[in-house]
């Protein structure tokens, strides 16, 4: 007779927010313990949102056991060990600080906050509560191909890095009549493409290079300064016969360059105006001994040019990152049966549950999130100065 397997301890998860990020985080929590052998079982204890009907529907759809309509009640619950913040950036700091002070572990969606001050408050709360885990959700670090890229760089396969270029392009704002949602307002989103997409590539650049950026030089632009106000929202008076339009108060695109303390250079492009680019995060790292290239729309592949190979045989080699000895792959499918976008969130949940059990702070920490915030603020500051931008004068003849 076989003895029954003892049930694993539960890790009670409470999530605030239930839109796109809430759905994909839910998927991560639901799946992690089904795929990986975790020290505890994430329990989807409660999901929180202000609209009781909508949050109930989300709970049923995404598999949460109960609902709350006030995040303070969620944080006060004894069955919640970890608070997962999936709200717009303007509430990250208040919820994150309160959750840490209430003794909860915290996962916070990126970017960590809307301002440096808010991010500093979160990093300080994490430092005051070192026994609590505090992690920011830069999920793309946990794409197996990018974890592999980091380990190749760490092992010195590229030698000293020379330059790194990263672009993150989407196209959902190309229509000038796309409505003025929260992502287009500074008070709720902090910044535009810069914080939404640029924060991911800044985090990846610093993760891959293994050092923080030392300085930046930037240009930002808002191509469509006014957009239709969604039904039910108002910005003031309505001219009769003309649909109401409101001010876009964030960037539509941000282009910037940066320098690492090691002397390596970096370039970045974040835009939601790139027709045909749906979720196109691409990067290339060029080092002393070789190069790496990655495209999120082909996320099971990493391209490696080994510059130490005789030139007659050299060329970019496509590594299919689906082998059991590749990062995270030991628990998934047989070689060649690739992963997708959602799996990065499963890996994030796995690493977080393991960190809680081990009592070790996982990366990216709130301090790492604060560092990204400092870069975003430096980009905005640089873009606002005329002095960094050298106009080209045209001379006739």
Of 176, 189, 167, nearest to 380 by C-alpha is 189
Do 193 and 256 meet the contact criterion of CB atoms below 8 Å apart?
no
153 membership: H or E segment, kind and range: helix 144-154
Cβ nearer to ligand SOE, comparing 170 with 220: 170
Residue 145, CA distances (Å) to 138, 276, 295, 319, 329 in order: 15, 24, 10, 9, 10
Smallest gap, in angstroms, from Cβ of residue 170 to ligand SOE?
Answer: 5
Smallest gap, in angstroms, from Cβ of residue 19 to ligand SOE?
Answer: 9
The mark string for 16-35 relative to ligand SOE (x by CB under 6 A, - otherwise) is ----x---------------
The mark string for 171-190 relative to ligand SOE (x by CB under 6 A, - otherwise) is --------------------
Q: Please name every residue paired with 44 in a beta bridge, in sequence order, or none if there are none.
A: 13
Smallest gap, in angstroms, from Cβ of residue 27 to ligand SOE?
Answer: 13
Cβ nearer to ligand SOE, comparing 80 with 270: 270
Q: Which residue is nearest to ligand SOE (CB)?
A: 196
Separation CA 257–CA 255 (nearest Å): 7
Q: Which residues, numbered 274-333, are part of the site for ligand SOE (CB under 6 A)?
A: 279
Structure tokens at 297: 């729309």
Cβ nearer to ligand SOE, comparing 70 with 342: 342
Smallest gap, in angstroms, from Cβ of residue 213 to ligand SOE?
Answer: 20
Smallest gap, in angstroms, from Cβ of residue 20 to ligand SOE?
Answer: 6
Cβ nearer to ligand SOE, comparing 20 with 394: 20
Cβ nearer to ligand SOE, comparing 182 with 304: 182
Site size with ligand SOE, rule: CB under 6 A? 4
Separation CA 295–CA 277 (nearest Å): 12
Cβ nearer to ligand SOE, comparing 279 with 361: 279
Separation CA 67–CA 158 (nearest Å): 49
Which of 68, 120, 196, 380 forms a contact with ligand SOE (CB under 6 A)? 196
Smallest gap, in angstroms, from Cβ of residue 327 to ligand SOE?
Answer: 19
Residue 230, CA distances (Å) to 91, 210, 254 in order: 21, 43, 25
Smallest gap, in angstroms, from Cβ of residue 148 to ligand SOE?
Answer: 20
Which of 67, 147, 170, 206 forms a contact with ligand SOE (CB under 6 A)? 170
Q: Terminal CA-to-CA distance of the chain, rounded, Å?
A: 95
53 membership: H or E segment, kind and range: helix 52-62
Separation CA 130–CA 314 (nearest Å): 48
Separation CA 73–CA 380 (nearest Å): 36
Cβ nearer to ligand SOE, comparing 102 with 280: 280
Cβ nearer to ligand SOE, comparing 129 with 371: 371
| E runs forming strands in the chain | 10-16, 41-48, 66-68, 82-85, 105-109, 134-137, 161-169, 215-221, 226-228, 245-247, 253-259, 265-271, 280-287, 290-295, 301-306, 317-320
Smallest gap, in angstroms, from Cβ of residue 200 to ligand SOE?
Answer: 6
Smallest gap, in angstroms, from Cβ of residue 168 to ligand SOE?
Answer: 8
Cβ nearer to ligand SOE, comparing 271 with 291: 271
Q: How many Cβ atoms sit within 10 Å of the Cβ of residue 306?
A: 16
Residue 251, CA distances (Å) to 79, 178, 201, 225, 284 in order: 41, 15, 16, 9, 25
Of 297, 372, 269, 316, nearest to 145 by C-alpha is 297
Q: Which residues, numbered 107-146, are part of the site for ligand SOE (CB under 6 A)?
A: none
Smallest gap, in angstroms, from Cβ of residue 193 to ligand SOE?
Answer: 9
Q: Which residues, numbered 240-279, are part of the site for ligand SOE (CB under 6 A)?
A: 279
Q: Look at phi and psi of residue 240 and say left if phi exceeds 0, alpha if psi is from -120 to 50, else beta.
A: beta
Cβ nearer to ligand SOE, comparing 247 with 279: 279
| Residue 237: exposure state from Cβ atoms within 10 A (0-12, 13-18, ≥19) | exposed
Instruction: Tell me which residues touch ligand SOE (CB under 6 A).
Output: 20, 170, 196, 279
């Amino acid at each position: 007779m076989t003895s029954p397997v003892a049930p694993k301890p539960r890790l009670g998860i409470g999530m605030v927010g239930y839109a796109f990020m809430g759905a994909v985080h839910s998927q991560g929590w639901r799946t992690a313990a089904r795929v990986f052998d975790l020290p505890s079982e994430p329990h989807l204890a409660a999901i929180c949102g202000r609209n009781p009907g909508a949050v109930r529907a989300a709970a049923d759809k995404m598999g949460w056991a109960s609902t709350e309509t006030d995040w303070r009640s969620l944080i006060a619950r004894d069955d919640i060990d970890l608070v997962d913040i999936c709200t717009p950036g303007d509430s990250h700091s208040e919820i994150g600080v309160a959750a840490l002070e209430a003794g909860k572990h915290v996962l916070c969606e990126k970017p960590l906050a809307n301002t440096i001050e808010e991010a500093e408050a979160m990093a300080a709360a994490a430092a005051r509560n070192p026994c609590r885990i505090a992690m920011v959700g830069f999920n793309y670090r946990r794409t197996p191909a990018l974890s592999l890229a980091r380990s190749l760089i760490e092992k010195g396969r590229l030698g000293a890095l020379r330059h790194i270029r990263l672009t993150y392009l989407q196209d959902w704002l190309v229509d000038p009549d796309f409505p003025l949602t929260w992502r287009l307002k500074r008070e709720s989103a902090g910044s535009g493409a810069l914080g939404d997409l640029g924060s991911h590539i800044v985090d990846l650049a610093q993760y891959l290079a293994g050092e923080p950026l030392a300085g930046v030089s930037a240009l930002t632009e808002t191509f469509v300064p006014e957009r239709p106000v969604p039904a039910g929202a108002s910005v003031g008076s309505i001219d009769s016969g003309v649909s109401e339009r409101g001010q876009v108060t964030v960037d539509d695109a941000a282009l910037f360059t940066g320098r690492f303390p090691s002397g390596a250079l970096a370039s970045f492009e974040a835009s939601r105006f790139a027709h045909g680019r749906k979720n196109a995060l691409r990067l290339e790292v060029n080092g002393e001994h070789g190069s790496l290239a990655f495209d999120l729309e082909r996320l099971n592949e990493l391209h490696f040019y080994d510059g130490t190979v005789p030139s007659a045989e050299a060329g970019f080699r496509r590594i299919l990152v689906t082998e059991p000895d590749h990062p995270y792959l030991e628990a998934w499918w047989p070689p060649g049966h690739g992963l997708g976008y959602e799996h990065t969130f499963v890996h994030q949940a796995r690493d977080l549950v393991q960190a809680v059990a081990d009592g070790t702070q996982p990366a990216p920490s709130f301090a790492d999130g604060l560092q990204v915030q400092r870069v975003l603020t430096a980009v905005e500051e640089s873009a606002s100065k005329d002095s960094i931008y050298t106009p080209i004068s045209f001379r006739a003849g």
